[in-house]
A and B are shown apart, each in its own frame.
Chain A
């Protein structure tokens, strides 16, 4: 009796094992890695939300080549060592086709060598440090316009459009911040402005900007470039107001998230950030995406609306779908298809076409300014 029971149990286990693996063959697995916790958590949450929206649309209409898209999530906390750990963990999973990669430039740089070894493509929605595409990784692709272009535009806004000459920089101490700082330090003098101060802060940790603000105030700065993400930007705005510092404050695209307004409150009025996606875009494709996102999500994500992270992540999913349908069914083939000069995808963020370094170009950027507690788009007139 007992032997029969053990035998049936073994058969049952074998059946379950085989059915599990045959189920796996019906799906395409990918990894979403972003900061789900920490000061930049809105990035990860928005990214995952946008992917959920895309997946509901794609899987709901038959999937990719008849297979369902599925993902697993890794939280890098915006912290490079954690990004590396995730790379090592996921690189042992042969079922993963690609990484919908980190938005944090530092985390991408940490993970790329490990992923290169196993040939896993990393497609990043929004990591924008300019040097990343020239580090020799052929498995790296990014959709966002890089900081060379973005910060150049921000510098032009400060000096040419708004007419300020005495500029201060406050940058986060990470690859993202350092990359932006270097572009600003080069671009501002070229345009005729002067960088009076270049101060930093530790992202995800530092809350207190009083030393930096006091220094800027004493030095007669008339414009500050905040080169970081929304939480730090919001706190900087609040503390500047409290300390009576009245210079114009403008920020990088990491600050173009509506959460900045919710944290900073009234202090955010008239703040300008450069952005790669207009949350009130009225063009049909973009307007539909914004509406679908808002309807798909109840709760905070829907209420605050989608921004550049969600928009780019949404495009990544559809872009990869197109690439898979064009033959990119394995990691190697996917990299090949994405690099091919014929490949392009026109998404909500614009035309996505990768050069041999994995870089996109030619996309539209705009500025968002806070008016009455909401981000409103504006386009410069003098450049």
Chain B
């Protein structure tokens, strides 16, 4: 059963990776944990769900959902982060938690707390080799995660906006002096982070064929955060590796050790890991002002 646990772990890890990429983008630029990340994509996914229920074409619905995620995250940046940008670390984080609660409660008001079946007509085939089962959906998710990571890394390195982003991550005042449109660039980063989150959330819902409002915080933000701690916060490569590692840890601990104490083991491992290597496996170079 080792191989099946491995496949399961990589599958769930890929889903976490998609969510972690969006989360890490924001952290990498501004050194701020976006606790509203999960709830932003929850809204986006519910929008897709509602549009498909109203018989809109599925691709259009996905585009709308991604757009909603983009816009919402820029709004989060505008109202929860921008005004407190220079007030240290705690204030913006709490402010984000606040706006996350608002979004979660809007979803609760409109769709309620129930779990709904999320049937988009997209169903992967099952590939069986002997006793093992691999879904083609799982393969697609894995590939999408890698492709997105490569795409974003490429854009950050080679394009003008990528360079603006790197400049801002080093110093906001200097970038402004150099003519970089700071506010607009930061908004774009948040927006793209939100859009990526919706893609991740959507694939998460397809994978489990269900949607409910808890996909945001519990399963999104927390897992993304844990992945980033393991993989190295601020680094996209780290986000993916961290997420896959998290998925594998959950799968193997649940299978071989105990399903009852699985979370204790996983969290325990993370605590020990932070003590030994606080920067994570592949930390991005974080330059400090001296």
Contact = CB atoms under 8 A, between A and B. Distances in A.
Interface stretch (B19-27, B180-188, B195-203, B207-215): B207-215
B260 A208 contact: no
Contact of A211 (B112, B126, B259): B259
Given A244-B128, A244-B133, A211 B250 contact: yes
A241 B90 CA distance: 45
Nearest to A173: B260
Given A173-B260, A211-B250, A211-B255, A38 B113 contact: yes
A38 to B, nearest CB: 6
Contacts of B108: 37
A231 B116 CA distance: 9
A42 interface: yes
B4 interface: yes
B4 A37 contact: no
Nearest to B247: A208
Contacts of B214: 39, 204-205
A214 B255 contact: yes
Interface string A210-237: 1110110110000000000001001100
B12 A210 contact: yes
A263 B118 CA distance: 8
Given A201-B259, A208-B12, A41 B117 contact: no
Nearest to A42: B114
Interface in B167-204: none
A321 interface: no
Nearest to B260: A200
Given A212-B254, A215-B1, A244-B128, A259 B259 contact: no
B210 A235 contact: yes
A150 to B, nearest CB: 23
A313 interface: no
B27 to A, nearest CB: 24
Nearest to B218: A205
A2 B74 CA distance: 52
A212 B259 contact: yes
A135 B122 CA distance: 51
B259 A263 contact: no
Interface residues of B, number: 35
Contacts of A218: 1, 4, 131
Contacts of B254: 211-212
Interface string A156-200: 000000000000000001000000000000000000000000011
A244 B125 CA distance: 12
A11 interface: no
A81 interface: no
B115 A263 contact: yes
A262 interface: yes
Contacts, number: 87
Nearest to B128: A244
Contacts of B278: none
A238 interface: yes
A239 B112 CA distance: 24
A243 B128 CA distance: 9
A242 B133 contact: yes
Given A214-B1, A244-B133, A265 B119 contact: yes
Contact of B210 (A199, A200, A243, A263): A263
B271 interface: no
Contacts of B8: 210-211, 214
Contacts of B113: 36-38, 41
A243 B133 CA distance: 6
B178 to A, nearest CB: 46
Interface in B209-253: 209-210, 212, 214, 218-219, 250-252
A173 B12 CA distance: 22
A263 B117 contact: yes
Contacts of B116: 263
Interface string B131-168: 10101000000000000000000000000000000000
Given A207-B219, A243-B133, A238 B250 contact: no
A264 B126 CA distance: 18
A210 B134 CA distance: 12
B41 interface: no
Contacts of A263: 115-117, 210
Contacts of A210: 8, 11-12, 251
Nearest to B112: A41
B230 to A, nearest CB: 18
A265 B117 contact: yes
A208 B223 CA distance: 13
Contacts of A214: 1, 4-5, 8, 255
A202 interface: yes
Contacts of B115: 39, 231, 234, 259, 263
Contact of A244 (B114, B126, B208): B126
A235 B251 CA distance: 17
A139 B252 CA distance: 46
Contacts of B250: 208, 211
A238 B117 CA distance: 11
Interface centre among B1, B12, B135, B209 (most CB of A within 10 A): B209
Contacts of A264: 117
A18 to B, nearest CB: 36
B126 A217 contact: no
A305 to B, nearest CB: 15
Given A42-B114, A205-B218, A210-B12, 11 more contacts: A41-B114, A199-B260, A207-B219, A212-B259, A215-B1, A217-B4, A231-B115, A244-B128, A259-B115, A262-B117, A263-B210
14 contacts: A36-B113, A37-B113, A39-B115, A39-B212, A42-B114, A205-B214, A205-B219, A211-B262, A212-B259, A235-B208, A243-B133, A244-B126, A262-B117, A264-B117
Q: Which 6 A/B pairs are nearest by Cβ-Cβ distance?
A: A211-B254, A37-B113, A218-B1, A210-B8, A41-B113, A199-B259
Interface of B: 1, 4-5, 8, 11-12, 108, 112-117, 119, 126, 128, 131, 133, 135, 208-210, 212, 214, 218-219, 250-252, 254-255, 259-260, 262-263
